[in-house]
Every structure is written in C-alpha cells, then in structure tokens.
Amino acid sequence: MGKINKSITELVGRTPLLELVNYEKKNNLEAKILVKLEYFNPNQSVKDRIALAMVEDAEKKGLLKPGYTIVETTSGNTGIGLAAIAAAKGYKFKVYVQDNVSKERFQVIQAFGGETIKLSEEPVVARVLQETNGDFVAAIDALRNEVLAGQENIFFVDQVSNPANPAIHEATTGPEIWEDTEGNVDILVANVGTGGTVSGTGKFLKSKNSDIKVVAIQPGPNSLPSDSNPEPEEITGVHPFEGVPKERIPSTMDLNIYDEKVEVETIEAYKAAREVAKTDGILIGTSSGGAIHAATVLAKRPENKGKTIVAVLPDTGLRYLSTNLFNEEYQG
C-alpha cells in the first residue's frame, strides 16, 4: 500500500528512539541511554509538535481563521516550526526573536516567508527587558498587553501559556516512548524551556508507571548571565526553573512533575554533543548535548546500573554551526 503525504502536518512526530550503543561502551556505562531524535521532525526540532498542535487547537476554537497572521515570540525552533506550518496552511507569520539567537534561525524563518523582528527592536519590549533586567516573561506580558492587544486578525500563539503545548507531549511524545520501549523505561531526561516537553511527556509516563523518574535540566551557574560574566554562552532554549520567582515560570511548566533537577554547563553540553557525533554519528544541538550529559551523570550512579534512561533530544546540530558547539578549540 502506498503512502503519499499531502502536507508537512502529516510528518510531525513519531520520531525514532536510538540506543547510544558505542557511546555507552566507550564510557563503560552500565545503564542504557536511549535518545529520542526530535530532529526527525519535518523542520528538525521538537517544536514542530507544539507548532502544529497550537495552530490546530486555535483553528478548532475559532481563534485562528483564514487571512489571519500567526504571531509568536520564541528563541527560534518554535518560530521555525510555526513558519513552516503557517506556510503549509496559508497563514502569514510574524515572530519576535530573542537577540542571542543564531543567525541560521532567522534565515530559516524568512525562507518560509515569515517576518522576523528582534525583541530589542520593539520599543515597548526593549523598555521592559531593560527595566526588568531581561525578564522574558515580563517582556512577553508587555508584548501581549501593550503591543498586540487591539490588533485585529492575529492569533498570538504564546507557547509559554498555551495548554496545547504540554498537552501534545502528553498525547504523542510520552506514548511514543512508552510504545517503542514496550514500557521498559526507568528515567526520563528532558530540558526545560517552556517546560512543555518535560511536563507533558513526564505526566504520560508517570500515568503508566508511577515509579518512572523524571529528571529536568537546568543551566549551570557558569552558563547564566552574572555580574562577572554578563554574556556567557547559553544553552539555546533552556531556562532556569528553580531559584526563579514563581511569576517568571511559564504556566506550561509543571513544577510538580520532576523528581530531580540536574544542572548542566554549556561546555559540558558541547562536549557531549561533540562526542556522540563521533561515536554514534548523530549531529545534535546544544540542549541535546546537555540532555546526554545529564543522562551520563545518571547512568554512572551505582543505583542506576541496568536501568533504561530516555533522553529527549530537541534539535539538530546543523542549527548551531555558527556557534562554538562543534568548534573543538572552544573548551569553555
């Protein structure tokens, strides 16, 4: 029987799991590390899942109609996913992008016909970012309440408060892991940006087996801006959730879902990504490297001997060639 797809919307999800067999051997690991390769999505990141889900949810609710412009603010991958879905469904797309986002991302969004605006170039948002010392949640509130309020024929996606974001991970990412492992999974490792991945996937897996441990990744102290280092190399799309005021946590992040937080420094994420490229032939982004680093820390613990760890790898390394990710000379 043939299988001809008629839209990229049919190509989202059902990504493969890969055991890092060579990496495990090289590092003498006695636990299994399975990685979920989200770069198999049609636009190479986990965000294709939420882009499609949030757009179709809005269509169903009558919030998005033909002729409307889809608007979002994002560190990149959500913008790329939405730009492609908007193109395929015939909507216009406009995205406010954080300034530190790699240039490949702007170029991809523009290739899909999307309009990109740097957050710092929107005067109201720039003022709030300055007043709050870079509070992204406050900046999005200002964008929603002061810039977009009153504009007609737009749909503001708002991935940090849109319940369709964690819901699609509960409906797809979690079940895919459960089915592909036939329920043999002990630990889930996921990054936290909006928190959609860890919250939705974690909720589904715990509903199947409450003993499954959920580990959430937070950037380490050397990878966050500080007085001594105002512009560190950051892990794209990954944000702190502990030690952060509650009002700055996206509502898509369920703070009750995780059993443990592991801190990962950017250089550790780089090194893990460089290593698996050479051992197992997968080219992944910085946060994916972070997930492998965290999985390795867990795999080395004696109590995890024989266990199966699943790490969700958000995107492709091709999106980071202009950064230091694969620059071997960069050692932090």
Residue 32 CB, nearest distance to ligand PMP (Å)? 22
Q: Which residue lies nearer to ligand PMP by CB, 187 or 216?
A: 216
* DSSP letter, residue 185: -
Which residues are CB-neighbours of 152 under 8 A, at least 6 positions away?
Answer: none
Pairing label, strands 154-156, 17-19? unpaired
Inter-residue contact 319 to 41 (CB < 8 Å): no
Residue 217 main-chain phi, psi, to 5 deg: -100, 135
Residue 145 CB, nearest distance to ligand PMP (Å)? 22
Query: Which residues are near ligand PMP by CB under 6 A?
Result: 47, 75-77, 191-197, 236-238, 285, 287, 314-315
Pairing label, strands 17-19, 32-37? antiparallel
Rounded to 5°, the CA angle 11-46-287 comes to 150
Which residues are CB-neighbours of 131 under 8 A, at least 6 positions away?
Answer: none
Buried b (16+ CB within 10 A) or exposed e, 279-310: bbebbbbbbbbbbbbbbbbbbeeeebeebbbb
Q: Of all helices (H) and strands (E), which one includes residue 33?
A: strand 32-37
d(CA 91, CA 264): 38
Residue 274 CB, nearest distance to ligand PMP (Å)? 17
Inter-residue contact 40 to 11 (CB < 8 Å): no
Residue 238 CB, nearest distance to ligand PMP (Å)? 5
Q: Which residue lies nearer to ligand PMP by CB, 191 or 218?
A: 191
As a whole number of Å, the CA-based R_g of the chain is 19
Residue 223 CB, nearest distance to ligand PMP (Å)? 13
Q: Which residue lies nearer to ligand PMP by CB, 29 or 174?
A: 174
d(CA 147, CA 187): 42
Residue 67 CB, nearest distance to ligand PMP (Å)? 29
Inter-residue contact 128 to 136 (CB < 8 Å): no
Give catalytic residue positions: 47, 287
Inter-residue contact 28 to 280 (CB < 8 Å): no
Q: Which residue lies nearer to ligand PMP by CB, 198 or 298?
A: 198
Q: Nearest residue to ligand PMP, using CB?
A: 237
Residue 161 CB, nearest distance to ligand PMP (Å)? 12
Q: Which residue lies nearer to ligand PMP by CB, 296 or 304?
A: 296
Q: Which residue lies nearer to ligand PMP by CB, 29 or 140?
A: 140
Treating both helix axes as pointing N-terminal to C-terminal, what angle do 47-61 and 77-89 enclose, rounded to 10 degrees? Answer: 50
Q: Which residue lies nearer to ligand PMP by CB, 200 or 304?
A: 200
Inter-residue contact 45 to 62 (CB < 8 Å): no
